[in-house]
A and B are shown apart, each in its own frame.
Chain A
Amino acid sequence: QVQLQESGPGRVKPSETLSLTCTVSGGSISSYYWSWIRQPPGKGLEWIGFIYFSGSTNYNPSLKSRVTISVDTSKNQFSLKLSSVTAADTAVYYCARMLDRGTYYPLEYWGHGTLVTVSS
């Protein structure tokens, strides 16, 4: 069974860069698409972006200028960096594996999520 685990600092200061890693176990990171999603406390879900194992990426236009997603196939990990954070970036951050159905890609496996608070 595929499992995903987010890791990284639980607190980031305003204007700094948020960095999270998702470690994949129970399966290879290869041949799949991988996403990051976030959820501010008490609010809905927001898609951040995804990466293919080969390294190609696609980002939410509203976050594109601040987001970088990368992959390390040797470690079976992919990562998220979000720069110039503000309090509005406080959220639970989830990583997920996308199911390739050709023209659509539902999110079939999710990590448990990690809360990141932006505060000085």
Chain B
Amino acid sequence: SSELTQDSAVSVALGQTVRITCQGDTLRSNYASWYQQKPGQAPLLVIYGKNDRPSGISDRFSGSTSGNTASLTITGAQAEDEADYYCYSRDSSGLHHYVFGTGTKVTVL
């Protein structure tokens, strides 16, 4: 089982805001990064670190962390934001090992 737990699915009305969470003790001391994956495509990095976005990623995406929970917020969700989202971080071993979250399916209504 994954050390990073996410809700399996969330839905959001077009233009509204949705927050996706990722829980795990490792997040108390390690940053998460977030990946968007659309059907048949490779994952795409959307948020990393405290709240950094790669070039070309919409500013609708933002990230934050509190305690053992990392969050990805989509503000003003668009139809093209419908996808699976995964968090990713170092695991709790203290070694340079990594783990993905269980994934969240976001549906835009």
Q: Are B33 and A106 in contact (CB under 8 A)?
A: yes
**Per a CB cutoff under 8 Å, which of B41, B44, B97 touches A60?**
B97
With A44-B100, A58-B95, A58-B97 as known contacts, state yes or no: A106 contacts B88, CB within 8 Å: yes
Q: Are B31 and A104 in contact (CB under 8 A)?
A: yes
B30 located at the interface, meaning its Cβ lies under 8 Å from any Cβ of chain A in the complex: yes
With A104-B49, A104-B89 as known contacts, state yes or no: A47 contacts B99, CB within 8 Å: yes
Q: How far is the CA of A98 from the CA of B41 in the complex (A)?
A: 19
Q: Which of B14-42 contact A (CB under 8 A)?
A: 30-31, 33, 35, 37, 41-42
**Per a CB cutoff under 8 Å, which of B43, B89, B90, B95 touches A45?**
B43
Scoring A residues 52 to 63 as 1 if CB is less than 8 Å from chain B, else 0, what string do you get?
000000101100
A8 located at the interface, meaning its Cβ lies under 8 Å from any Cβ of chain B in the complex: no
Q: How far is the CA of A46 from the CA of B102 in the complex (A)?
A: 10
Q: Are A104 and B86 in contact (CB under 8 A)?
A: no
B108 located at the interface, meaning its Cβ lies under 8 Å from any Cβ of chain A in the complex: no
Q: Which residues of B contact A104 (CB under 8 A)?
A: 30-31, 33, 48-49, 89-90
Q: How many residues of A contact B (CB 8 A)?
A: 23
A112 located at the interface, meaning its Cβ lies under 8 Å from any Cβ of chain B in the complex: yes
Q: How far is the CA of A101 from the CA of B31 in the complex (A)?
A: 10
B66 located at the interface, meaning its Cβ lies under 8 Å from any Cβ of chain A in the complex: no
Q: How far is the CA of A87 from the CA of B48 in the complex (A)?
A: 33
Q: Are B45 and A107 in contact (CB under 8 A)?
A: yes
Q: Which residues of B contact A45 (CB under 8 A)?
A: 35, 37, 43, 86, 88, 100, 103
Q: Which residues of A contact B94 (CB under 8 A)?
A: none
B2 located at the interface, meaning its Cβ lies under 8 Å from any Cβ of chain A in the complex: yes
A110 located at the interface, meaning its Cβ lies under 8 Å from any Cβ of chain B in the complex: yes
15 examples of A-B residue contacts, CB within 8 angstroms: A45-B35, A45-B86, A50-B96, A101-B48, A103-B30, A104-B49, A106-B33, A106-B48, A107-B35, A107-B43, A107-B88, A108-B54, A110-B43, A111-B42, A112-B41
> Interface on A for B, CB 8 Å cutoff?
35, 37, 44-47, 50, 58, 60-61, 94, 99, 101, 103-108, 110-113
